[in-house]
Amino acid sequence: MTDAPITPRGTAPAVLISAPASGSGKSMMTAALARLHRNAGRDVRVFKYGPDYLDPMVLETASGNPVYQLHPWMTGMDECRWRLARAAATADLVLVEGSMGLFDGDPATADLAAAAGIPVVPVIDAAGMAQTLAAVALGLDQYRDDVCLAGVIANRVGSAGHGRMLAEALPERLPLLGAVPRDDAMSIPDRHLGLVQAGELPDLDRRLDAAAELLREAGLDALPASVTLAGEPPPKPPRLLDGARIAVARDAAFAFIYRANLELLEAMGADLREFSPLADQALPACDALWLPGGYPELHARQLADNLPMLLAIRSHHAAGKPILAECGGLMACMDTLVDGDGKAHRMLGLLPGQAAMAGKLMGLGLQSLALPGGELRGHTFHHSRLEAELEPVARTRRHRGGTPGEAIYRDGALTASYYHAYFPSAPAATAALFRGTALEEIGHA
């Protein structure tokens, strides 16, 4: 007998949905494929490549299953293989939605496809394009020997004749799997940080069902080829948060949370207690508080008007209890938040200064924070700027170039930054943040 974990191994139809560039329609294509096969009675597991909070919300609604991030650097390739293998062991279909263009970034979506051995299907925007689609597809197919294309999906096709023309231009070894016409069913509203949150779309299920039917009519209801996937399970994290009660802000203003982050906190022994800074009048009983990212700028007036909650969080901070504030959480910690219309709203006042919407992208990219408990990896993505009166105690480091990244601010037991952390990348460092023991260490990082 042995207590050693069994290495997950599974064989299931699997494919990675990518594109030549952002804006080609791969997000909705992946969601529609997930809903199409779910409606056919299949167990569909979907993953999202890279840092992203909004696409996974839609993909979870589409598939009916949890969605996790995969990224060779941020989550680590070992974790990617393990999650894929675990899904393939039970699922009827495994889908991975790529990020940006297939070969864009370092690492790129193609690196995951090559390392995991998953075939790629690019979604190519065929609007205004005929035989050139074949040239684009062949270029993607031949760019790297270790990346295998299983076919092509043409999106935004103008007519049945247009679809036939595209199919005839492609070689037999690279078939056109489907020609999806231009249709409102294949779009979801977006805003400055990406797709509108799934919970804000009351008709999302109807949209997904309509998109799934569109794909079925295009012949995309066939399962892809089966792939065998295997990976070593990660070691069990140390129970460094046993007995710790962590209040997690979660509502329309604070929703940017990796599912894996929550699961890690629980695996380390934490008791998670969700609450809404928008609707609730008091914090749940807690030892630490997490204010994740989201859209506080869209709900600034409601946040400012909920004075009982503002006072509760201020009291938590005054009592010396740890707070981790990420991006939108950082914005809420400032004295004021200036929304997109230029109106200033009173916020928590835990950090002197203001956050203001900038009307353009102010921060983007993979970053890490070096702590004695490990290198905490993650990313940044924001459209606001900070006018802080407090000097940062440290800065993250950009993955590309190794230059200093986002500022890390500290006041008492509060740690705040625009930086979003992927907790499983450094469990001990994460636990130290929520225990409050990492705060002095950050000052020397």
Q: How far apart are CA 99 and CA 114, in angstroms?
A: 15
Cβ atoms of 412 and 222 within 8 Å: the answer is no
Measured distance between the N- and C-terminal CA atoms of the chain, rounded to whole angstroms: 44
Q: What is the 3-state secondary structure (H, E, C) of 226-288?
A: EEEEECCCCCCCCCCCCCCEEEEECCCCEEECCHHHHHHHHHCCCEEEEECCCCCCCCCCCCE
For residue 293, the surrounding DSSP H or E stretch is strand 293-294
What's the Cα-to-Cα distance from 52 to each of 45, 294, 384, rounded to whole Å? 17, 12, 18
80 is a catalytic site residue: no
Number of H helices, E strands in the chain: 13, 26
- Hey, which residues does 234 pair with through a beta bridge? none
**DSSP-assigned beta bridge partners for residue 176:** 152
* Catalytic site residue from 80, 286, 327, 333: 327
Measured from the Cβ of residue 279, the count of other Cβ atoms closer than 10 Å reads 11
- Distance CA(334)–CA(414), nearest Å, equals 12
Residue 39, burial from CB neighbour count under 10 angstroms (0-12, 13-18, 19+):
middle
Going by C-beta distance under 8 Å and a sequence separation of 6 or more, which residues neighbour residue 174? 137, 138, 141, 149, 151, 152
HEC per residue, 365-408: EEEEEEECCEEEEEEEEECEEEEECCCCCEEEEECCCCCEEEEE
Residues known to be catalytic: 327
